[in-house]
Structure 1
């Protein structure tokens, strides 16, 4: 049986990160350029054979050009030497209504296992005949575990940027191919 390939619909997907600034507010950022490829045996994502997400570090957008430039620098993501952030899922696990996606996240050449909470929105056929699947994904990582060590301290002793980074994604996948056996 041939695998079914699903890819991100960029017009209906977004990948967001949130970090506390001065420990009093949250700064929100986006990866504007990313790719997602999922391969399944059927329309049931529990049959996933491949789950891969790649974000282009140069596409970071926090609505502040100076901050974006700093995030791309060697102080943080080091985009000149490490141009991509990569997540490779290795287990899509369901427990009742709870869904977890386990995998390896690579930032700045450091790979660590993480677990993301997944909410499966379902599968529909859009008005153009495309089969689409929707997901909401949430997680949290320690930026320092991935070598993003830069920090400063205010006069009062507070840190400027928190270690915890919250991840939120709204993903719409588009089915790219249907196995020949399924068409008959």
Structure 2
């Protein structure tokens, strides 16, 4: 019987990191996101129908001016492309190592990516809910997704790096099974 898992947003975070001036790293978060996963058992090796979305207007880098710039047409163009989307196509494990392959869509551009997954385990919380924990990480080229804005300093340094690091702490909650009436 298929099991549906939904993200617990209060115990999950989705972040990205990018080099600024090639000397420091700026961290940003998506504050509004959704993730659904279907498995055949509580073993996530059977994961399928993995669908993640993040609301571009929920970007938070702890700087309102920078957030507005990221939402503008220079970067994500939130007015036209309100969400980014990831659809998992394959989840494979090799001992402790796991990879999640899928298609990431940003600004209407879809590219294949691979993410590293660490499964933290499955537990039943004090309220009787079955929860599964994961750490997900990866890297993408922002230019692959049409995020090409940049500037150069007087000394010739790039303002924003091409490489974006993705890091997510994800807690999934097993949903109640539906009984056919």
User: For this structure pair, what is the TM-score category when the shorter chain's length is used for normalisation?
Assistant: over 0.9
Q: Does 1:53 align with 2:52?
A: yes
Q: Which moved more, 1:47-56 or 1:145-154?
A: 47-56
Q: Does 1:115 align with 2:114?
A: yes
**Where does residue 137 of structure 2 map in the other structure?**
138
Contact 2:52–2:85 (8 Å) recurs in 1 = yes
Q: Does 1:64 align with 2:63?
A: yes
Q: Does 1:105 align with 2:114?
A: no
Contact 1:4–1:179 (8 Å) recurs in 2 = no
Count of residue correspondences:
180
Point out where structure 1 has 5 or more consecutive residues left out of the alignment: none
**Where does residue 155 of structure 1 map in the other structure?**
154
State the Cα deviation string for residues 12-40 of structure 1 (Å, max 9, x = none). 00000000000000000000000000011
In 2, Cα distance between the equivalents of 1:44 and 1:88? 19
Contact 2:48–2:88 (8 Å) recurs in 1 = no
Shift of residue 177 of structure 1? 2.4
Shift of residue 96 of structure 1? 1.4
Alignment root-mean-square deviation, CA: 1.1
State the Cα deviation string for residues 86-109 of structure 1 (Å, max 9, x = none). 000010100111100000000000
Point out where structure 2 has 5 or more consecutive residues left out of the alignment: none
In 2, Cα distance between the equivalents of 1:178 and 1:133? 16
Q: Does 1:37 align with 2:39?
A: no
Shift of residue 49 of structure 1? 2.1
Shift of residue 179 of structure 1? 6.2
TM-score, length-scaled by structure 1: 0.96
- Residue 11 of structure 1 aligns to a residue in which SS? helix
Q: Which moved more, 1:147-156 or 1:46-55?
A: 46-55
In 2, Cα distance between the equivalents of 1:90 and 1:45? 14
Contact 2:8–2:172 (8 Å) recurs in 1 = yes
